[in-house]
Amino acid sequence: MEKDIFCKIIDGEIPCYKLYEDVDVIAFLDISQVTKGHALVVPKEHYDNFLSTPAPIMHKVFDIAQRIGQIDIQFLGAKGVNILTNCYETAGQTVKHFHVHVIPRYSKEEGFMLEMKAGAEGLNLPVIAQTIKDNL
Ligand code: 5GP
C-alpha cells in the first residue's frame, strides 16, 4: 500500500517543523498555515481517522493537542483555539491518517471559519436520539 504523506513525515522521508515526538505521537506545523502556529498532532501508527483509532492512542493525541493549545494561548498570543479532526472526505478529510488540527485564533476575521447553521428540517428527533442511544 502506498504510504500516506504523514507516514512519510513520521519515517523522516519528508521534512517538517517538528513540535513534539514520543513513541506513539508526533506533532508538527501544518504546511498550510491557516493561522500562525497551526499544528497537526498525529499518531505514528497508521489509523485512517479518529473513528478507527484505538482509545489509548486517541487519548495520547488529544493530550498533546491540549498542551499545544495551551501554549498557543500562553506563548503565541492566541485569543482562542479551534481543535478539530475531520473524518472521511465528506467531512473535509484530505489525508487519510488520523490527525488533530490545533488552530490558534487571533481574531474572528481569519481564514478559518466554522459555521454551524441549522440546515436540517423536519427531523424525527426522538427516533434519531433513540438510534444513537441504543447503540452507545
Ligand atoms: P485534513 O484536510 O485531512 O483534515 O488536513 C490535512 C492537512 O495536512 C492539511 O491542513 C494540509 O495542509 C496538511 N498537509 C498536507 N500535506 C502536508 C505536508 O506535506 N506537510 C505538512 N506539514 N502538512 C501537510
pTM of the predicted model as reported, rounded to 2 decimal places = 0.95
For 86, phi and psi rounded to 5 degrees? Answer: -95, 135
Distance (Å, whole) CA 27 – CA 124: 41
Please name the residue whose Cα sits nearest to atom 13 of ligand 1.
30
Q: Which of 18, 95, 96, 101 to mutate to test the pocket of ligand 1 (most atoms within 8 A of CB)?
A: 95
Cβ pair 25, 99 in contact under 8 A: no
pLDDT band at 115 (very low <50, low <70, confident <90, very high): confident
Whether residue 126 is predicted with pLDDT greater than 80 in this model: the reply is: yes
Q: CB under 6 Å to ligand 1: residues?
A: 5, 14, 16, 28-32, 86, 92-95
Q: Give tens-digit pLDDT for 9-52.
A: 999 999 999 999 999 999 999 999 999 999 999 999 999 999 99
Task: State the residue for C-alpha cell 514520543.
Answer: 22
Distance (Å, whole) CA 22 – CA 30: 18
